[in-house]
Amino acid sequence: MKKKKKICSVSGCCDDPYLGGRCKKHHIEHSHRAECREKAVHALHTGLVDKCLPGDPDLRNELLRLRKWWDRACHSVQTQHDVDFMPFEEAEYALEWCISLAQEIIEAELGLRTGKTASDSLAATRYWVWDRFKNLENGLHSNGLPRNADK
C-alpha cells in the first residue's frame, strides 16, 4: 500500500507541511493573524497600543469607547446574562466585533506613528461595528431587526 503524502492543511495548498500542519507561508500568515488578535485583545483590556495610549485623539477616544462595549460583552459572556444593551445571545459576536475594530485601530495608530494614513478597511470596519452597537442601544438585534419579533 502506498503511503499518502502529507500536504499543507490549508484548503487548496499542496505544499509540504512546515509547522502545525501548514506550509511555511501559511504558518507565517497564521502566526501574524494570531499576533494581531493578541495585540487587539491586549488593547481592549488596557487601552494601550505598544505600551502607550494612541497618539491620535480620535483613535484614542474610539478605543476607549470600544473598551466599554468590550467590558459589557465580557461581563455578559462571563455571567451568561444580559448586561446594559448587551444581550447574552449577541455577546460572543460582540467580542469578535470589538477585536476586529481594535485590530484596525491598532494598525491605523501604528501607521500614523510612521507617517502613513489610515486604510479604507478602518472606515468600513468602523461603520459596520458601530452600526451593530447602535442597533443594540436602540433595543434591536445587532442586524437592526426588532427584538420582539422572535418572541
pLDDT digits (tens, 9 = 90+) for 59-76: 999 999 999 999 999 999
Structural domain includes residue 11: no
Domain residues for the domain of 103 are: 56-150
Res 3 pLDDT > 80: no
The residue that leads in pLDDT, 38 or 7, is 38
Count how many domains the chain has.
1
Structural domain includes residue 48: no
Residue 54 is predicted with a pLDDT of: 95
Structural domain includes residue 84: yes
Distance CA 121, CA 83 (A): 29
Give the number of other Cβ atoms within 10 Å of residue 59's Cβ: 20
Structural domain includes residue 41: no
Res 1 pLDDT > 80: no
Distance CA 76, CA 95 (A): 10
Structural domain includes residue 50: no
Work out the mean pLDDT of the chain and round it to a whole number.
91
Residue 12 is predicted with a pLDDT of: 87
3-class secondary structure per residue, 70-90: HHHHHHHHHHCCCECCECHHH
In 3-state terms, what secondary structure has residue 94?
Answer: helix
Structural domain includes residue 131: yes
**Amino acid letter, residue 14:** C
Structural domain includes residue 136: yes
User: What is the per-residue pLDDT across 121-144, written as a single tens digit (0 to 9) for each?
Assistant: 999 999 999 999 999 999 999 999
The whole-number average pLDDT for the span 42-55 is 95
Share of the chain above pLDDT 70, in %: 96
Structural domain includes residue 140: yes
Residue 130 is predicted with a pLDDT of: 98
